[in-house]
Structure 1
Amino acid sequence: MTDHRGTAARHTARRGPEVRCRTGVPAGRLAGVSPAGRAASACAGPAQLRAELTAVHGTTTVVAVAGEIDLRTADALRSRLTEFAGPQGASACADLVIDFGGVRFCDASGLGVLVSVRNALAARGGRVRLAGVRPAQRRLLRVVGLDALFPLHADVAGAIAAAEAATAAGRG
């Protein structure tokens, strides 16, 4: 290709940054991540996400989420969280603690899932609590004002303790 002076124009192709897991292995290849301090699991590509039931404490259910929450994975996450939270007509107050320690990325569609699940639980007296949220995601929640809807806890144990205290105090 030539420019307006007839000389060859030089095009430089810029490569974007390579996405890597915490271990430094490029995304899409296997690398260990620890979503809830449990056994290492495979580093998934951007279209993969895992949500696993890890514990139940009274009326509090703990779900560990690992991977990337985006437009491609949001519906699957909504389905899993709704399943773990219990049926819509359930009368028992169920708190849902979502362990975000293994979440590498969360976009607006992921935030929409969290709000949707939160609203469904709030309608029957429950609450969604987030544990282990990474600093960048915590900042995003603050910027968009969702930190007012979701109690943020450093770890799962703190979230469970807060849920049990709220239940003992009559949902206060």
Structure 2
Amino acid sequence: MTEETRRAARAGRRPPEVRCGAGALRSPSAQGAPSVHAADGLRIETSRVRADTAVVAVAGEIDLRTAGPLRDLLVETHGRLPGARPRRLVADFAGVPFCDAAGLGALVAARNQISAAGGEIALAGVRPAQLRLLKITGLHRLFAIHRDVETALSCHDSPTRSG
């Protein structure tokens, strides 16, 4: 990429503090009300499930312009839910029609940060094309992948964790 194309790409971006929504995540209330965050066509809804698990429903395409906000919000969700820090995030990808390499990179970056803090990310509702991409890249070894959120939550409760 030339310096000219980099400048052109940067000109179209919003500043990081706007793009990632830092501080914009509203923590779910004690009644379990979800928080909703939208960035560049990506909608992310977070709900508290129980003390050690939060579900993050993702809707929209994950690409170069939405990967950063996704990564930031996953890490922020892990660190900012009220009460005890959730040990586990379940990212529901049922509403994600497309995820490119930038999206995979964002998931890995979020996983690395959350893992360093003692947490984990599980994926649920991953479409067949995305699952194939995860397997081709070997990333299926980094994430527990489940058919749907309910399976991810029940597998977390049982001694065996396959989905």
TM-score range, shorter chain: 0.5 to 0.7
Q: How many equivalent residue pairs?
A: 119
- Looking at structure 2, the residues matched to 57 and 109 of structure 1 have their Cα atoms a distance apart, in angstroms, of 30
Q: 1:121 is matched with which residue: 114, 138, 142?
A: 114
Say which one has the larger Rg: 1
State the partner residue of 2:94. Answer: 101
Query: RMSD over aligned Cα, in angstroms?
Result: 2.0
- Looking at structure 2, the residues matched to 111 and 91 of structure 1 have their Cα atoms a distance apart, in angstroms, of 28
Contact 2:88 2:119 in 1 (8 A): yes
Q: 2:137 is matched with which residue: 144, 148, 151?
A: 144
1:85-127 CA-to-partner distances (Å, cap 9, x unmatched) read: 115xx98452000000000100111001110111112112211
- SS in structure 2 at match of 1:76: helix
Gaps of 5+ in 2: 1-39
Q: 2:128 is matched with which residue: 114, 123, 135?
A: 135
State the partner residue of 1:63. Answer: 56
1:154 aligns with 2:147: yes
Deviation at 1:56, TM superposition (A): 2.1
- Looking at structure 2, the residues matched to 61 and 79 of structure 1 have their Cα atoms a distance apart, in angstroms, of 15
The letter of the residue matching 2:137 is: V
- Looking at structure 2, the residues matched to 147 and 127 of structure 1 have their Cα atoms a distance apart, in angstroms, of 14
Q: How does 1:1-20 map to 2 (within 5 A)?
A: none
Deviation at 1:161, TM superposition (A): 1.8
Contact 2:94 2:126 in 1 (8 A): yes
The share of aligned pairs that are identical, in percent, is: 52
Gaps of 5+ in 1: 1-46
Contact 2:74 2:110 in 1 (8 A): yes
The letter of the residue matching 1:62 is: V
Deviation at 1:83, TM superposition (A): 1.6
- SS in structure 1 at match of 2:64: coil
- Looking at structure 1, the residues matched to 124 and 147 of structure 2 have their Cα atoms a distance apart, in angstroms, of 6
